[in-house]
Amino acid sequence: MKRVVSTPAADGRQFADPAFSATVVAWQKQHGRHALPWQNTRDAYRIWLSEIMLQQTQVTAVIPYYQRFLQRFPDVATLAAAPAEDVMAHWSGLGYYTRARNLHRCAQIVMEAHGGSFPADPALLAQLPGIGRSTAAAIAAFAYGARAAILDGNVKRVFARVFGIDAYPGEKRVEDTLWLRAEALLPEEGIESYTQGLMDLGATLCTRSRPSCERCPLAPRCIAFGTARTAELPVRKPKKAVPEKHAAMLVVEHEGHILLQQRPDSGIWGGLLSLPEVGGFTPLEGAAGAVPPLPEDALRQATAPFGEPASSERLPAVVHVFTHFKLHIIPYRVHLARRLPMAAQGGHVWLPTAALAQAPLPAPIKKLLLGM
């Protein structure tokens, strides 16, 4: 198989260090991970799927989802042809649902524009939905042997500690320099072992807390280890206050069924089924327990389109933390004496309680419903 080659930028050559990559390659071959479900293959589809699932998600959490996903969607053609709700149902619980929507659209573009084969060129891969520069490089390296640099969170941490980078890696100026370094450090041979080795070091030894420096092959040259600064590097992102919001949601029940509503494709929980909301997400002032209850007439008005209420109660709040804010869900459980046919309109659907476990629901909503 012909190897795709990309040359490091000329102004990053001061970072060249063949001994670094040689150490990583040798360590990975002997001590790295070799039995993950997506390893030992050149199948770009399986590699791509794993890389998307592994974005911001731990390996142990990904493995069961990856295996179930492949059982239902064994190849890119099957995934591209599948209904969106089926894809979302198999992703439900893994979080960051934009990944699932991009995954589905990417599969369709690969079928439509690339004849069902993922491009070998990292630059072309990076143009596909949900595939950034680092992910494109990983796919190209593992599937096609492309000499391309990765720079995910684990790699940034390894570089920051080994080379003593005393600045926040997410700052654009710092990140641009890290990319130059990543390109310059690429080995001439063994790109697969090198790429996997960087991932393995960051995931198993050079961890965020309590790194195993005594087992790290880079310890003799690591500035953070040598100066006892592994707890300080990489420099953490400057803290900002996390906004808090609350949302009143209706748990409407009738004869063993729960009323759900499909959310818009874009935004929070895009494309998933969720509970009907009353008033949307509102900034939280004070404690969630201090949120005044919905007035009786407001609750009655919110449930009127669905049927005639027999009883209602406010349930304990459920807290869910997103990347940029914390949401306090204030659920109201409403039993209907009878339901109206119009509840099936406007994206609403009645689902049997026995089907909730397999439904495409956001994790906190599924936890709330299954815990009642």
pLDDT digits (tens, 9 = 90+) for 72-113: 999 999 999 999 999 999 999 998 899 999 999 999 999 999
So where are the chain's domains?
Answer: 10-226, 244-370
Residue 155 has pLDDT above 80, yes or no: yes
Residue 333 has pLDDT above 90, yes or no: yes
Lowest-pLDDT range, 53-67, 150-164, 206-220, 230-244?
Answer: 230-244
Q: Is 112 a catalytic residue?
A: no
Q: What is the distance between the alpha carbons of residues 86 and 70, in angstroms, rounded to a whole number? A: 13
**What integer is the mean pLDDT of 225-253?**
94
Amino acid at 49: L
pLDDT band at 289 (very low <50, low <70, confident <90, very high): confident
Set 51, 183, 192, 253: catalytic member:
51
Q: What is the pLDDT of residue 202?
A: 97
Cis peptide before 220 (omega within 30 of 0): no
Q: What is the pLDDT of residue 288?
A: 74
Residue 168 has pLDDT above 60, yes or no: yes
Mean of per-residue pLDDT scores for the chain = 93
Q: Let me know if the fold of 10-226 is the same as that of 244-370.
A: no
**What integer is the mean pLDDT of 108-126?**
98
Share of the chain above pLDDT 90, in %: 85
Residue 343 has pLDDT above 60, yes or no: no
Beta carbons of 263 and 269 less than 8 angstroms apart: yes
Q: Which residues are bridge partners to 278 per DSSP?
A: 248
pLDDT band at 310 (very low <50, low <70, confident <90, very high): very high
Q: What is the distance between the alpha carbons of residues 320 and 112, in angstroms, rounded to a whole number? A: 38
Q: What is the pLDDT of residue 47?
A: 98
Helices (H), the chain: 18-31, 44-53, 59-72, 76-81, 84-91, 98-113, 122-125, 133-144, 153-162, 172-184, 191-200, 223-226, 296-303, 363-370
Please give the C-alpha separations between residue 94 and each of 9, 47, 58, 87, 302, in angstroms, as whole numbers. Answer: 37, 18, 10, 12, 31
Q: What is the pLDDT of residue 345?
A: 62
**What is 244-370's CATH topology?**
Nucleoside Triphosphate Pyrophosphohydrolase (3.90.79)
Residue 4 has pLDDT above 50, yes or no: no
Q: What CATH number does the domain located at 10-226 have?
A: 1.10.340.30
| Model-wide pTM > 0.85 | no
Q: What is the pLDDT of residue 235?
A: 96
- For the segment 17-75, what is each residue's pLDDT rounded down to a tens digit? 999 999 999 999 999 999 999 999 999 999 999 999 999 899 999 999 999 999 999 99
Q: What is the distance between the alpha carbons of residues 208 and 290, in angstroms, rounded to a whole number? A: 36
Residue 164 has pLDDT above 90, yes or no: yes
Q: Is 242 helix (H, G, I), strand (E, B) or coil?
A: coil
What is the β-pairing status of strands 326-339 and 244-254? parallel
